[in-house]
Structure 1
Amino acid sequence: MAKSERPNFIFIMADDHASKSISCYGAGINKTPNLDRIATEGMLFNHCYVTNSICTPSRATILTGMHNHTNGVFTLDDKINKRLPNVAKSMRSGGYRTAMVGKWHLGEGEDHEPTGFDYWSVLPGQGEYWDPEFIEAGGKSRVSGYATDIITDKCIDWMGQRDESKPFFLMCHHKAPHRSWECDKKHKNLYTEPVRLPDTFTDDYKNRARAATVAKMRVAEDLTYFDLGLAQPEGGSRQVGSKMMDVWWYNERKVPAPEDVTVLRLIDKDDGTVFTFNTREELVEFKFQRYMQRYLRTIQSIDDNVGRLLDYLAVEGLADNTVVVYTSDQGFFLGEHGWFDKRFMYEESFQMPFMIRYPKGIKAGTVCNDLISNVDFAPTFLDLAGLRVPTYMQGVSFRSLLEEKTPTDWQQVAFHRYWMHRDIIHEAYAHYGVRDQRYKLIYWYNEDFGLQGTRPGGQEKEWELFDCEEDPLELFNCYNDPRYAGVLKKMTRLLEDKMTEIGDEMVHPRTLR
């Protein structure tokens, strides 16, 4: 491919953005017209999956094209080794100008700073929504304003100062819509109509692994005042009701007892509105609606700013030759199974949104139902750029899928491994598994392998098998159902073959050879 023909790239990634909160995915709970433009003018993927549904490991996989056991980033506490090869280094070696702006979350300090980028300006840690601090090669500085706007401003400024003789590769990483879902004030009054509760909101976790029962990710019990933008008067429970804990790392749930609900008073921190409740069910639904309002309002600024980027490309005459990608670092629960957060291989957490526009190479309005994974992003970008995909990358380019040419031997399998056994906040169990186009097999091995930020194992090992066609809500574990004996053998073989292919360690009892 001639240098003049090589496309530019803008990779836009949000944090914790569920597919169902992008209107082109059809859930109908909010409107994201600018994000929808990427799909309607390009391709939408219905089955894009994350290899590890937690922020830091997912970002390491996207950057390196390697699974976490290979790139060494297993948990939120791990940091990337800056000497590792990555997609930006390959792009820059291939003649691209490269930039990273926004959330990095792969460690700080000289040994873990972004490498492979001509320019980088990143948030320390999780970053702040308002007046955020940024780290750059020259040091730290604080910028006044709202983070999503500022990150976009920095991206546009960098493109405006680019060397026009070279194509560019820009990674635009938003903090939003990460917890605690602080929206831009101009969106404060959006989404006042109630959102329908998910069908599984009152899930009792029967017929599932114990991991689903013990996880501390419940909207009803584990969201805090801070999460919901609320305060509570001081006083004893007889005067003000039992308290929802206002520290998200606290180990014990604290939910109002039935007799305390009627005296509970919660106060909006912004306008002082007082909320009272007659029943626990009323309180729980209030928390869900409040959560959804804050989450969806935070997303609205992302949509606005994606529109700004798309408009900039159009004005500058760059739209036709720029690959624009929108995704999230993983999925997110929006009340499904009663949960918020992610971590699990259940579908809402496992599935990532992925839309891509490239007028020169992707037909507008197309939809792909083949399986891809975030480990495949880097090889695909290099392939589209006409650059060699390094042998260290474990992902596979899905360029042929973008051209609506699914290879007969396409890997219709997605692998997931969550290493943080019983993290101190959410008590999520360690597990791995595979999904094909219909079935999902999960092994809950419940061991921490000595990783940081986890607690010792010891729980009984468990398997789950789901028929995602007959049971899309994943309510019935059919691992021991005789009708699925053949499926179980096939999926176990698929899991073991995949782990052998990528060189990951199996810890389940091998039954197939």
Structure 2
Amino acid sequence: MKLAYFLSTLLCSTVVTSQEQDAPNLIVIMTDEHNLRTIGAYRDLMSNEQAFPWGEGVKVDTPHIDSLAKEGVLFNNFYAVTPLCTPSRASFMTGVYPKFTGSSWKNHGKLRKKIRTFAKEIISSSDQYKSAYYGKFHLNGKSLSTSDFGDPNRKFGFQDIDYQYNRGHWKYFEETATNLTAYEWDARQKFISNGRNEEDYYATDFLFQKAIDFMDKKSQNGKKFAVMLSIADPHDPNFVREPYASMFSNLQFQLPKTAEMARARKPGIPEWAYLGEGSMLTDSSGSSRDIDSNLNFALQQTFGMIKLIDDSLGKMLDFLESRGIKDDTVIVFTSDHGDMMLEHGRVNKGVPYKSSAQVPFIIRWPAKIQPGKVVETPYTSVDFLPTILGLMGISTQTTTHGIDASSEILGDQIISKNENQIRFLTDSKGRDWMAAITNRYKLILSASSPWLFDMEVDPDEILNFYDDPNYADVVAMLQGPLIEASKKYKFSINKKSFIANTPSCKDSIDEIENWQGKVCEDVSSSEFSGACQVWDFVQNSCPKTCGQCCSDSEGEIWLFKALRTCADMTSDIRFCRQEAAQLFCPKACGLCPQ
């Protein structure tokens, strides 16, 4: 019996040791606000028109990021579950939708303290792993301080957080024996004078080097490492160190085609796609598409930031090669959300357009992943945790909302596509929308008319196919699951209202035919108050504004956590106080002339 017990113990010990030896290292690199079209590997999958929206050949080369895709797998439909910093990061870390992560469903909110992250799952799986987090966290609330590094009470599975900070887009770090201090761009003179080497202090260089130092130390000590490196670039402020600041000074960016169309309302844009600060001005001294010189400088600097990130990644890849741990290391390259970069006349994020919501997601693991693989199946931030744990062979009892994509990653197909998989996106607190996506279609429901994009027919995401009878089956396939997801996952719009069918009486959102530069909103102003009576073409384009139609709509509207019809409006006086109800059911709400 003793011999049997000894052999059993030895066998189990040998198996565990073998599993631990086979376990890979992990590096997760997350940039901030990164447009897909600034990465060569993604441009290679696009038409020229899609790849170069700012003009032919206006690009930044990213050979090191591209190499990850050539040697690994690129996800061509990976979305930020919410295209906003904090909620996107929260879902990425935990595998659940934003409302389940704590107050981090709002920007600058706090991740729920006892929630489990992918890092916690990894270090719990084996004491061989040592974990660390470098860079921007943005999950510890509103705290913003130049000395706010590493809250020891909020590690979330990251053992070393000495170089983790909560908020800010710091450009420099200075470290002494006792202090670590962050600085903004306006402190640059301090780091380029008195013989200092700016590269030693600039944030991207500094954080990459600290991460490499950690990995070097752990690998030499026979430990496995799990590192997350969160770089705050290429998010604004749009400044970068030399020589990257001057590297793209010869580029003249042009206004993307979609921005020209949005400004002219040819065709009109969805209500959730308001132009705001994104209604960009062109440079009057240049051609009609040359953008304003200040914007041009900002985009040149953005390209510079991305080039520096790529070069820094190159140094990290060289380190892995030199230490002989390339094959045993999983590298994930992604971003928290995209950046419109003038597409559709907008900057920043927060909308369901591809450039805002879709993010790069590339994984390299030479020992296991077939090189050059492309996954067309849609996935989102909530899918990262189950996917990375599945890929690394780590089991978990933690409940997630995500899908484990590891079997698709490790499959034999070079191009992998599940056309039936539906994933969901939710706004956080801004324009109140939600979306269902497949690899081809995107349905958006909001407080105004529903929108359906066919991204194969219309990669610019300009045309609305919702009311096209040829797409009725697509709408039916997406709309029910989206509404159910909004209830199950507590999307923010679920507490408000959204329109599930196109209103019967509505104005055109396009420029009024025969009246250049004018839309129906202009007709309601005092300057053009008589236009409806004078011109038939105004009445045709703007029947609602001109009082030519006032009828209730067929279909349903979401009010007070339930789908309702116009016949329900009289059952509760609260219903008709909602703007969406007034748009959808004007007659039932008593808004039609007698």
Distance 1:139 1:396 in 2: 42
The answer to whether 1:24 aligns with 2:41 is yes
Q: Which residue of 1 aligns with 2:172?
A: 130
Which string of whole-angstrom CA distances, capped at 9 and with x for unpartnered residues, describes residues 9-30 of structure 1? Answer: 0000100111110111123511
* Kept after mapping to 2: 8 A contact 1:16/1:178: yes
2:422 counterpart letter in structure 1: V
Aligned residues: 435
RMSD, aligned α-carbons? 2.9
The answer to whether 1:430 aligns with 2:463 is no
* Kept after mapping to 2: 8 A contact 1:7/1:384: no
Q: Which residue of 1 aligns with 2:548?
A: none
The answer to whether 1:37 aligns with 2:79 is no
The answer to whether 1:340 aligns with 2:360 is no
Alignment of 1:86-235 (within 5 A): 86-95=117-126, 96-107=129-140, 108=143, 113-120=154-161, 121-131=163-173, 140-142=180-182, 145-162=201-218, 164-191=221-248, 192-204=250-262, 205=265, 206-220=267-281
2:213 counterpart letter in structure 1: D
The Cα shift of 1:365 comes to 1.6
Which string of whole-angstrom CA distances, capped at 9 and with x for unpartnered residues, describes residues 344-396 of structure 1? Answer: 01111111111111011111122221111111111112112221133322112
Alignment of 1:254-293 (within 5 A): 278=285, 281=288, 284-293=291-300
The Cα shift of 1:39 comes to 0.8
Of 41-50 and 196-205, more deviation after overlay is shown by 196-205
Alignment of 1:53-68 (within 5 A): 53-68=83-98
* Kept after mapping to 2: 8 A contact 1:288/1:335: no
1:100 counterpart letter in structure 2: Y
Q: Which residue of 2 aligns with 1:329?
A: 336
Alignment of 1:399-418 (within 5 A): 399-404=406-411, 412-418=421-427
The Cα shift of 1:87 comes to 1.1
SS in 2 for 1:352: coil
> In 2 relative to 1, CA 180–280 (structure 1 residues): closer, same or farther, beyond 3 Å?
farther
Q: 2:112 aligns with which of 72, 78, 81?
A: 81
Which string of whole-angstrom CA distances, capped at 9 and with x for unpartnered residues, describes residues 487-513 of structure 1? Answer: 22222123134345546574542669x
Alignment of 1:292-441 (within 5 A): 292-404=299-411, 412-421=421-430, 429-441=431-443
Q: Which residue of 1 aligns with 2:446?
A: 444
The answer to whether 1:14 aligns with 2:31 is yes
1:486 counterpart letter in structure 2: D
Q: Which residue of 2 aligns with 1:239?
A: none
> In 2 relative to 1, CA 112–46 (structure 1 residues): closer, same or farther, beyond 3 Å?
farther
Q: 1:480 aligns with which of 456, 467, 472?
A: 467
> In 2 relative to 1, CA 302–483 (structure 1 residues): closer, same or farther, beyond 3 Å?
same
* Kept after mapping to 2: 8 A contact 1:127/1:133: no
SS in 2 for 1:334: coil
Identity over the aligned pairs, expressed in percent?
A: 29
SS in 1 for 2:281: helix
* Kept after mapping to 1: 8 A contact 2:425/2:434: yes
Distance 1:22 1:328 in 2: 12
* Kept after mapping to 2: 8 A contact 1:183/1:298: yes
Higher helix share: 2
Segments of structure 1 that go 5 or more residues without pairing to the other structure are 222-260, 262-276, 422-428, 446-460
Of 361-370 and 22-31, more deviation after overlay is shown by 22-31
Of 53-62 and 138-147, more deviation after overlay is shown by 138-147
> In 2 relative to 1, CA 69–43 (structure 1 residues): closer, same or farther, beyond 3 Å?
same
Distance 2:367 2:361 in 1: 19
Of 203-212 and 496-505, more deviation after overlay is shown by 496-505
> In 2 relative to 1, CA 496–139 (structure 1 residues): closer, same or farther, beyond 3 Å?
farther
* Kept after mapping to 2: 8 A contact 1:375/1:395: yes
Q: Which residue of 2 aligns with 1:251?
A: none
The Cα shift of 1:430 comes to 1.8
Distance 2:259 2:112 in 1: 40
SS in 1 for 2:485: helix
Q: Which has the higher contact order (CA 8 A, sep 6+)?
A: 1
Which string of whole-angstrom CA distances, capped at 9 and with x for unpartnered residues, describes residues 219-265 of structure 1? Answer: 439xxxxxxxxxxxxxxxxxxxxxxxxxxxxxxxxxxxxxxx9xxxx
2:429 counterpart letter in structure 1: M
The Cα shift of 1:293 comes to 0.6
1:432 counterpart letter in structure 2: M
TM-score, normalised via structure 2 length? 0.68
Looking at CA atoms only, which structure, 1 or 2, has the larger radius of gyration?
2
SS in 1 for 2:122: helix
1:59 counterpart letter in structure 2: R
Distance 1:71 1:10 in 2: 23
1:99 counterpart letter in structure 2: A
The Cα shift of 1:79 comes to 1.5
> In 2 relative to 1, CA 142–195 (structure 1 residues): closer, same or farther, beyond 3 Å?
closer
The Cα shift of 1:416 comes to 0.8
SS in 2 for 1:362: coil
> In 2 relative to 1, CA 102–34 (structure 1 residues): closer, same or farther, beyond 3 Å?
same
SS in 2 for 1:97: strand
The Cα shift of 1:155 comes to 0.1
Distance 1:293 1:68 in 2: 34
> In 2 relative to 1, CA 97–106 (structure 1 residues): closer, same or farther, beyond 3 Å?
same
Distance 1:139 1:91 in 2: 30
